[in-house]
Amino acid sequence: MMGFFAKKASPEKNLATLYSVANEAKSLYAAVEKWAMLGLCWGGKLAALASADQTPFVASGQTHPALMDVADAKRMTIPHICLVSPDEPADILEPYKEALPDHSELELYGTMFHGWMGARANLEDEKNLLEFTRG
């Protein structure tokens, strides 16, 4: 898994691709004045990295984020929402929340699981559906 993150899925390496897609979208949809981004799991790491100086986005977010790093939160310059499950490392949540920029939020979805907003979402389950909708 770490080999996958180091090569093909490397958030740092994919940052250039994200910025390229954002720039292309801006030219294709010139009427859209503001753009935001949301990343799930390892895409949350990408969203965090893309929230620093020179970002083309006005807001960002991540759900059940992977590879959380307080240093990423400290570099953010735009409002950011972070929706976590109890499967994320508990020791990083408070320092991460404290490092987020103004108008940001971190919320623990205590009854959910890693992936509840993505591939592991169980929309057949009433409680899961409620938390998915709330997220």
Structure tokens at 94: 């408070």
What per-residue confidence (pLDDT) applies to 113? Answer: 95
pLDDT tens figures, 96-105: 999 999 999 9
Q: What range defines the domain where residue 116 resides? A: 1-134
Distance CA 25, CA 2 (A): 31
Whether residue 1 has pLDDT greater than 90: no
Distance CA 9, CA 44 (A): 12
pLDDT tens figures, 108-123: 999 999 999 999 999 9
DSSP, collapsed to helix, strand or coil, labels residue 71 as helix
Task: Give the whole-number percent of the chain exceeding pLDDT 70.
Answer: 99
Distance CA 115, CA 120 (A): 5
What per-residue confidence (pLDDT) applies to 6? Answer: 75
Q: Please, which residues bridge with residue 38 across strands? A: 61
The predicted model scores a pTM of 0.90
Count of structural domains within the chain: 1
Whether residue 92 has pLDDT greater than 90: yes
- CATH number for the domain that contains residue 108: 3.40.50.1820
Whether residue 39 has pLDDT greater than 90: yes
**The CA-based dihedral angle spanning residues 17, 19, 24, 28, taken in that order and rounded to the nearest 10 degrees:** 130
- Compute the radius of gyration of the chain from its Cα atoms: 15
